[in-house]
């Protein structure tokens, strides 16, 4: 995370942020691969039809709540938008604004924050605290770390931090209650994809 911040801060390139994010994801994937190769709860990587329902419903509701929080914090309430270059989107837009946040980020981040952090904390604390106490500690730990990583560059506003916290909390609770990552990944996908759709609309039609 620190190396990514240094790259984003010190490298004067339009690719600096993408490189920093990629480095962060690689750092997350290492413990994911290691952890899941050693042990994982039965059914953790399965996806059930109910997970799709959870993902769509909760991801959509979280995006609505994010809009309300932004407005309450003094935001304009206008649709987000992407900068245009000569009337079109940047050539790297499809990668940095579409594929990365909608396809890659939800999978990598949920595998790390929920598949590794949440499961590891729960497993470590289940005997001393019991299942309920360990579950609560695991949900809080994965949520706090999720927020810290998303606010680490110092550019996140208060409403963005609160919204990230809600996404992390809902995803963590979903994994804790279902024992599966599928719903959390889909919540994250729908939440990020809804921003993409709103920003495209705000860029070309607002």
Distance CA 102, CA 95 (A): 10
Do 129 and 166 share a structural domain? yes
DSSP state letters, 35-59: HHHH---TTTT---HHHHHHHHHHH
Q: What is the pTM of this model?
A: 0.90
Do 68 and 140 share a structural domain? yes
User: Which structural domain range is residue 9 located in?
Assistant: 1-38
Do 66 and 18 share a structural domain? no
Distance CA 152, CA 155 (A): 8
Structural contact between residues 118 and 138, judged by C-beta atoms closer than 8 angstroms = yes
Task: Give the pLDDT of residue 195.
Answer: 94
Tens-digit pLDDT profile for residues 122-150: 999 999 999 999 999 999 999 999 999 88
Tens-digit pLDDT profile for residues 160-177: 999 999 999 999 999 999
Structural contact between residues 52 and 184, judged by C-beta atoms closer than 8 angstroms = no
Tens-digit pLDDT profile for residues 10-24: 777 767 777 778 888
């Amino acid at each position: 995370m620190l190396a990514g911040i240094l790259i984003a801060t010190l490298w004067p390139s339009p690719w600096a942020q993408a490189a920093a994010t990629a480095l962060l994801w690689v750092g997350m994937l290492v413990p994911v691969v290691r952890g899941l190769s050693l042990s994982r709860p039965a059914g953790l990587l399965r996806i059930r039809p109910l997970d799709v329902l959870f993902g769509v419903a909760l991801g959509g509701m979280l995006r609505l709540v994010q809009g309300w929080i932004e407005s309450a914090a003094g935001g304009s309430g206008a649709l987000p938008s992407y900068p245009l270059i000569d009337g079109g989107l940047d050539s790297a837009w499809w990668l940095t604004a579409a594929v990365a946040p909608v396809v890659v980020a939800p999978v990598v981040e949920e595998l790390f924050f929920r598949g590794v952090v949440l499961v590891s904390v729960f497993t470590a604390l289940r005997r001393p605290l019991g299942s309920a106490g360990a579950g609560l500690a695991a949900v809080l730990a994965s949520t706090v770390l999720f927020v810290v990583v998303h606010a680490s560059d110092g550019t996140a506003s208060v409403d963005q931090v609160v919204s990230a916290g809600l996404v992390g909390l809902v995803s963590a609770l979903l994994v804790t209650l279902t024992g599966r990552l599928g719903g959390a990944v889909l919540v994250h996908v729908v939440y990020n994809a809804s921003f993409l759709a709103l920003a495209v609309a705000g860029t070309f039609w607002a």
